[in-house]
């Protein structure tokens, strides 16, 4: 006896699409959202796709599963396409990491500067089932920004050494705070820039402490001279013996900057801000308001 096929039910098509459509992306986002339902008198937080699976089985029992079944098939197809994209990203990351490792080994053998190998293989993190992330500069432009922030961190470590000499040893290095409200905040600013650096470029607390101990070998006059020269070479000359604002003032300022940058990042993700010019104007406005 021949088995009749249900022509109203679509078969899952083959994966010929290069990527997800906007509808499929919306389906995946919605399917991955959590909702609260009441089941057997108890509230549970479950994924929308789990609710759909339950509803599909319940509706199938009544003999009318077609609409939900088609939706379920579309979600499964979208998940397969997304997984295919993830696997391609992981494979790409493995190839790039292996290639960059060869370049690094060659540079080391030839005695060249290893910092020029970009991206550095150690900065490429491969995450199975997710994709990959690059925790460092990808090209020379990004490397220039990272090195500039390294220089800012080191400058504030130097400034912290000077402030320790001028204001007294008031820095609690283990807690990364300043115990005196009236003292400078150079150490706080050094930590702020340090924590924003990729892991390969950041200094540990022990390394920062060692840098400060090394500065203690200098005389007060030498510290004043070197710090004054470094600020000038950085394009931001300061009077000899200048100290940073108090810890509380600097902390309040950093909180404003962090909140504003987080809001800017959200606007970029939402598409409210689209161009580099708009981003630059937003940052310039922030700097202007901070100077007031």
Residues 225-258 pLDDT 10s: 999 999 999 999 999 999 999 988 888 888 888 8
Residues 27 and 127 in one domain: yes
Question: What is the average per-residue pLDDT within 259-268?
Answer: 85
233 and 253: one domain?
no
User: What token pair was written down for 153?
Assistant: 């961190």
Residue 147 or residue 267, greater confidence: 147
254 and 237 within one domain: no
Angle, vertex CA 133, rays to CA 78 and CA 126, nearest 5: 80
233 assigned to some structural domain: yes
Residue 125 bridge partners (DSSP): 133
Distant-in-sequence, close-in-space partners of 124: CB < 8 Å, separation ≥ 6: 93, 96, 97, 100, 132, 133, 134
Give yes or no for residue 1 having a pLDDT over 60. Answer: no
The pTM of the full predicted model, rounded to 2 decimals, is 0.67
Residue 130 shares a structural domain with residue 29: yes
Are residues 254 and 240 part of one domain? Answer: no
List CB contacts of 65: < 8 A, sequence separation 6 or more.
56, 59
H-type alpha helices, the chain: 22-31, 48-62, 66-110, 140-167, 186-195, 205-215, 220-233, 247-270, 276-291
Average pLDDT of the chain? Answer: 81
The pLDDT assigned to 270 comes to 77
Instruction: Convert the pLDDT of each residue in 185-217 to its tens digit.
Output: 999 999 999 999 999 999 999 999 999 999 999
Average pLDDT over residues 125-147: 93
Distance CA 146, CA 171 (A): 26
Nearest-CA neighbor of 240 among 248, 250, 230?
230
pLDDT at residue 65 tops 80: no
pLDDT score at 67: 57
CB contact at 8 A, 205 and 173: yes
Residues 165 and 238 grouped into a single domain: yes
Average pLDDT, integer, range 252-279: 84
Query: Does residue 3 lie within any of the structural domains?
Result: no
* 72 and 28, same domain (yes or no): yes
Residue 251 covered by a domain = yes
CB 249 within 8 A of CB 180: no
Q: Assess contact for 6 and 23: CB atoms under 8 A.
A: no
Among the three residues 102, 135, 168, which one is the final residue of a domain in this structure?
135
The residue range of the domain holding 180 is: 144-244
Q: Residue 9 falls within a domain, yes or no?
A: no
Distance from C-alpha of 48 to C-alpha of 85, rounded to nearest angstrom: 23
User: Is the preceding peptide bond at 116 cis, omega within 30 degrees of 0?
Assistant: no
Residue 180 lies in a domain: yes
Residue 116's pLDDT band, with cuts at 50, 70 and 90, is: confident
pLDDT for the residue 9: 43
Query: Cβ distance 122 to 80 under 8 Å?
Result: no
Higher pLDDT, 93 or 18: 93
Strand partners, 73: none
Question: Per the structure, how many domains does the chain have?
Answer: 3
CA separation, residue 278 to residues 31, 178, 283 (Å) = 34, 37, 9
**Do 102 and 150 lie in a common domain?**
no
> Are residue 152 and residue 236 in the same domain, yes or no?
yes
Q: What is the pLDDT of residue 48?
A: 76
Q: What was the pLDDT predicted at 35? A: 74
13, part of any domain? no
How are beta strands 131-134 and 171-172 bridged, if at all? unpaired
Same domain, 185 and 236: yes
Residues 123 and 31 in one domain: yes
Tell whether 15 is covered by a domain. Answer: no
* 235-248 as b/e: b if 16+ CB within 10 A: eeeeeeebbbebbe
Q: How far apart are the first and last CA of the chain?
A: 86
Q: Which of 87, 111, 135 is the last residue of a domain?
A: 135
Q: Per the domain annotation, does 227 fall within a domain?
A: yes
**22 pLDDT more than 90:** no
Q: Are residues 264 and 214 both part of a single domain? A: no
Q: Residue 176: which region, alpha, beta or left (left: phi > 0; alpha: psi -120 to 50)? A: left
- From 114, 135, 156, the end of a domain falls on 135
Q: Which residues of 170-189 are buried (b: 16+ CB within 10 A; e: fewer)?
A: bbebeebebeeeebbbbbbb
Reference 214, options 158, 148, 288, 281; nearest CA is 158
The 3-state DSSP class for residue 166 equals: helix
CB atoms within 10 A of CB 120: 24
Amino acid 176: pLDDT: 42
């Amino acid at each position: 006896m021949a088995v009749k096929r249900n022509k109203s039910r679509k078969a899952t098509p083959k994966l010929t699409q290069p990527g997800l459509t906007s509808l499929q992306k919306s389906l995946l986002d919605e399917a991955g959202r959590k909702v609260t339902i009441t089941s057997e008198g108890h509230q549970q937080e479950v994924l929308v796709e789990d609710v759909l699976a339950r509803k599909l089985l319940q509706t199938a029992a009544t003999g009318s599963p077609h609409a939900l079944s088609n939706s379920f098939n579309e979600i499964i197809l979208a998940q397969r396409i997304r997984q295919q994209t993830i696997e391609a990203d992981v494979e790409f990351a493995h190839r790039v990491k292996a290639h960059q490792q060869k370049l690094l080994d060659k540079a080391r053998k030839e005695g060249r500067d290893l910092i020029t190998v970009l991206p550095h293989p150690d900065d490429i993190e491969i995450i199975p089932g997710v994709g990959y992330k690059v925790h460092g500069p990808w090209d020379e432009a990004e490397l220039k920004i990272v090195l500039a922030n390294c220089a800012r961190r080191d400058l504030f470590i130097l400034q912290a050494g000077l402030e320790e000499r001028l204001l007294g040893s008031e820095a609690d290095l283990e807690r990364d705070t300043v115990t005196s409200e009236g003292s400078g905040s150079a150490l706080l600013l050094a930590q702020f820039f340090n924590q924003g650096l990729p892991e390969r470029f950041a200094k540990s607390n022990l390394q920062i402490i060692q840098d400060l101990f090394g500065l203690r070998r200098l005389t007060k006059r030498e510290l004043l001279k070197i710090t004054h020269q470094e600020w000038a070479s950085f394009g931001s000359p300061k009077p000899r013996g200048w100290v940073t604002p108090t810890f509380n003032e600097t902390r309040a300022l950093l909180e404003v900057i962090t909140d504003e940058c987080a809001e800017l990042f959200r606007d970029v993700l939402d598409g409210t801000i689209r161009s580099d010019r708009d981003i630059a104007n937003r940052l310039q406005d922030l700097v202007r308001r901070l100077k007031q």
